[in-house]
Structure 1
Amino acid sequence: MLIKIGIAMLAFAANSVLCRLALAGQQIDPMSFSLIRVCSGAVVLLVLYLFSAQKTKIEWSVKNGFFLALYIVAFSLAYLHLDAGVGALLLFGTVQLSMVGYGLCHGEKINMRRGAGLCIAIIGILILLLPGAAAPNLVYAAIMVLSGIGWAMYSIAGKKMQNPLASTLANFVMAIPFVLLAYAVFYTKSFALPQGMLLAVLSGGLASSGAYVLWYVIVKQIDHVTASSVQLSVPCLAIMGGALFIGEVLSWRIIMSAIIVLVGIALVIRTIPDQTHAPSTLK
């Protein structure tokens, strides 16, 4: 299970780096990136489904398609003016709060140690948002928060899906009309250079499609608190990726925030949840 989680988190971080690399280099606009990303993801998933041994019935859901589209479109827009690591911190901080809140409202319990870990992780996110020269643009930070809400709702919906591959294929297909609508709104500002298109295809066809199928497998086996907390490792990976591949500056604020978030995650993951309230634990 831990290996599967590690692969999924690396793919999530890759999405942040690929998107920021394309937009920071002005290789493509956010809506074109979103559209190519979701379409390439749908194509790859369709191929995987056609060659799968068991072709289970596809579960179509307009709601899940909307959540996925909301995440993808807001994600791309926010990365116009957010560094890869900063955006990932905001994104998955929002995901954690949303999923934990949902879990608590539906009967999941948190012991003292897990609660402390969650609080520490949230403090790490808040440190990032404190006013100052290194603080992110609040408008684009808010857009990334909206993206996080979309991803949290998409992840929560994954617990109800019977077949991860068929469900993810359906969700990508259902997301395309919503992304097309957003693209139409911003059409006059659209442009796409070959490198930007390639990065969007890599994001959708590799870092998104397969990773989302894997994530749907994972979330069915762990509780909402653990699912939300492990995703807070993604910002740390994205920070390293942004520094290595994009040349983003590692400020002390970002480093401190990432370390605090990791400490909080460690507390949550190392604490075994009460089996009477949580469906499963990491193995």
Structure 2
Amino acid sequence: KTKRAILKAGNVITSPKHTYTVVKLLGSGGFGDVYLVEDDASKARYALKTEFYGAVKTLFSRLKIEAHVLEKCTRAPEHGRKHFLTLKDKGTTSDFKASSAPLVRGRSQKGRSQTVPGLGPQQETCIFMLDFGIAREFKNPNGTLRKPRENIPFLGTPRFASRACHRKEEQSPKDDVEVWIFMVFDLFDIVSGIPWKGDSDRALILKKKDALMTGQKLPTKRCPKDFLRVVTYIGKLEYVDTPDYAWMMSVCDHMAKQLKVDISDNAVDWAGKTSGPP
């Protein structure tokens, strides 16, 4: 993989609609970088994501896929796009592809950086879905399930990737929920919530994930016991199955009532604590 160039503060990026000036680098990932940029005309600031040509040898452009997803979200009914950012702009230069979107408010905590959801005070409690670079449509335009591919390259983070991803199998909605389960365990117990934390051998990680998803024991006592029902349910689903989201939500509601936890929007931990745009 070729080492990609990093844009510097003051660099200018021009698209057919806007001209942006780079303020600073916000972060880097395996396939690109994200910058804080300022629109020269409106002085509004945005997050601009880049994907340099040749930086990563892949069969497809992740930024192109992400822009496609956000464009489809923009055309969705209002209730269906609440948790998705609006694609502000997209374009290409001689060196890279780029897309821009509104900034997500955030702050860093000592010892653990995190992105805090919300674009402003009125949206502070809204969770936004970010990064669709490895997303794939699992249904055909007519609504039928797409035929699963075989021997798919591993794409994702070993710590949170679903077992199907490890096995190079096609993924579907049940894999999204499986990844969410791993994230939940990590949030409940950052030290021992997921037994494979710290492991680098993907075969060993898969073995431990299989044990978790097919077993009868939660990895941490900090997680409500009833959550095991969701784990074992998802662990049995196949590619063609559609998860019963309503049932899973009812289980979570039941756990919240048992623990006397307020799960309303205004009860989130970060309410009133997020910072403004960088």
TM-score by length of 1: 0.28
Structure ranking higher on relative contact order (CA contacts 8 Å, 6+ apart): 1
Larger radius of gyration: 2
Relative to total residues, which structure has the larger helix share, 1 or 2? 1
